[in-house]
Amino acid sequence: KAGVTQTPRYLIKTRGQQVTLSCSPISGHRSVSWYQQTPGQGLQFLFEYFSETQRNKGNFPGRFSGRQFSNSRSEMNVSTLELGDSALYLCASSLVAESSYNEQFFGPGTRLTVL
């Protein structure tokens, strides 16, 4: 069974640009969550999508947005990039969203560098 895949793996952008990251969950998984990881703030929850609807949202500005498609694939978008957005962006999928004990499977992440 293929794991969670994220594309691209590495990305370099300049301030003010926007970026779209993609995540393909494990087949059959309907929940996709996004996290940002930086050396200073650690792993921070961005948002979660289930059945094309955003279910939970972390404490990030509106420049960070996402969506989920009918095949459960998800994208996240960051507009008007700032230097502080440089981070590893991780996507995680899980089978069922309604249980608190569902294991989340993480992808390898997309390393975004903002110059």
Partner 1 sequence: DAKTTQPNSMESNEEEPVHLPCNHSTISGTDYIHWYRQLPSQGPEYVIHGLTSNVNNRMASLAIAEDRKSSTLILHRATLRDAAVYYCILRRTNNNDMRFGAGTRLTVKP
Task: Please identify, among the stretches 12-20, 62-70, 71-79, 97-105, the one whose residues bind partner 1 according to the rule CB under 8 A.
Answer: 97-105
Report if residue 43 touches partner 1, rule: CB under 8 A: yes
Task: Please identify, among the stretches 13-21, 62-70, 77-85, 92-100, the one whose residues bind partner 1 according to the rule CB under 8 A.
Answer: 92-100
- What are the backbone dihedrals phi and psi of residue 84, each rounded to the nearest 5 degrees, phi first? -70, -10
Report if residue 108 touches partner 1, rule: CB under 8 A: yes
How many residues lie near partner 1 (CB under 8 A)? Answer: 29
| Residue linked to tokens 């996240």 | 76
Task: Answer whether 106's CB lies under 8 Å from 92's CB.
Answer: yes
| Residue linked to tokens 């993609």 | 22
